[in-house]
Amino acid sequence: MNRMTQNANRYYRALLEQDPSFEGLFVVAVRTTGIFCRPTCRARKAKRENVEFYPDSDTAAAAGFRPCKICRPTELPVEDVPEFFRVLSERLGAEPLERLTDQKIRSLGFVPATVRRWFKRRYNMTFQAWQRMLRMNAAFQRLQQGENVTVAALASGYESLSGFGASFRNAFGFAPSQKEPLRMITARRLESPIGPLLACAVDEGICYLQFMDQRLLESELKDMCRRLKAVMLYGEHPHLAALADQLAQYFDGDRRNFDLPIAVPGTDFQRRAWRALQEIPYGTTASYADQARALGSPGAVRATGTANRLNRVTIVVPCHRVIGSNGGLSGYGGGVWRKQWLLQFEKRTLARGAATVGQAGLLRRPG
């Protein structure tokens, strides 16, 4: 039983609920109309017996279905930011020390439970936790700029130094009075056709890029902060802006290689293994044995596989292009189905490019 068949009932429920967390996981095709849609389509929902699910738009189109003109499933999904996010963000921007309780959220015309669920899905935290994170991020930056603990606490809306200290230690794992300066890791959520990604950067380059539903995400982030001796804050960074642009180009089929600095801590062998991954041509695959030979260590197949599993920058450092010697798809942090999607996507993009070049050649040929 394949993934589409196994999850069909779950996908249909997501379709009825227009659940945006399923964007990139499937498209739904309606037999009675011949049209396929994304999970969040606003069009009237067909009966369960009249729909079937496909992993992507190309597969649905190959089966003879046409893309919906309402939800445009062949385009990159753009998450609709709800009105409450704009209003609450502006309110906190104008009054950063204000605590927006459930009662205040209701007075602004919004349902606290809806706000809570959206923040939990998008940021993996409640709105109240998000408010605390913003205050702690601002406090950390003040301390890094040389302000004393009392000033930083009062500026963050705390009347008690002990309460501020406890919240700060809970957020960052050390006391606000610690004198040694720490590095800052900037984090940002990025959208993709196969699910949202968490991207992180330091000034030296990209240090993390993984799918947000990955099981080991939390432990990997803690390990990264420990290795880099840094704290992680949500925000904007030039490396993350460049990454967002290049990922969009990649998923549009317009980029083959990434031009980004990578700053992932690792041993010399691991860094060499990650560079070797970046040398595997777009749209092709290599075995672990091939990669070990490229490293000049043909006997280090197991160590090469371990280094690949420790790759923290998915897609940009394309470990999805490494397969088993028997041609089978081995483990992938984002899930084997995503590995298969990426490999098929790259091959289809290459094929389309070759076809376009061939057609251009025919057009130029004199008659």
Give catalytic residues, as residue numbers: 37, 319
Task: Count CB atoms within 10 A of the CB of residue 300.
Answer: 19
Residue 353: both structure tokens together: 């490019």
In whole angstroms, how far apart are CA 322 and each of 58, 77, 287, 301? 23, 28, 5, 12
**Do residues 8 and 26 lie in contact, with contact meaning Cβ atoms separated by under 8 Å?**
no
Helix, strand, or coil here: 2? coil
Q: Is the dihedral of CA 90, 80, 232, 171 positive or negative?
A: positive
CB-side neighbour CA atoms (13 Å) of 325: 8
Q: What is the DSSP secondary structure assignment for residue 200, as one 8-state letter?
A: E
Residue 55: both structure tokens together: 């992993």
Residue 6: both structure tokens together: 């196994």
Residue 258: both structure tokens together: 């990434």
- Residue 326's contacts (CB-CB under 8 Å, 6 or more residues apart) are none
CA–chain centroid gap for 231, Å, is: 19
What b/e sequence results for 101-124 when a residue is b if at least 16 CB atoms lie within 10 Å of its CB, and e otherwise? eeeebeeeebebeebbebbeebee
* Residue 273 CB-density burial (10 A; 0-12 exposed, 13-18 middle, 19+ buried): buried
- Give the total residue count for the chain: 367
Nearest Cα residue to 10 out of 39, 41, 38: 39
Integer Cα distance of 60 and 67 in angstroms: 9
- Residue 80's contacts (CB-CB under 8 Å, 6 or more residues apart) are 20
Nearest Cα residue to 212 out of 24, 82, 38, 345: 24
